[in-house]
Amino acid sequence: MQSPLDLPTVQGLREHTSHPSLQASATAWLGAYALAHQFSFTEAVALRQANAAWDRVAQLWHQTLEDETGYELTELGRRAIQVGC
What spatial distance separates the first Cα and last Cα of the chain, rounded to whole Å? 45
Residues 6+ apart with CB under 8 A from 2: 51, 55
pLDDT attached to residue 59 = 85
**Residue 25 in contact with residue 11, Cβ under 8 Å?**
no
pLDDT attached to residue 65 = 56
Q: Which amino acid is at 72?
A: E
pTM reported for the whole predicted model: 0.67
* pLDDT per residue as tens digits for the range 2-54: 557 899 999 998 888 888 888 889 999 999 999 999 999 999 999 999 999 99
Q: How many C-beta neighbours within 10 Å does residue 19 have?
A: 10
Q: Regarding predicted confidence, which is higher, 60 or 85?
A: 60
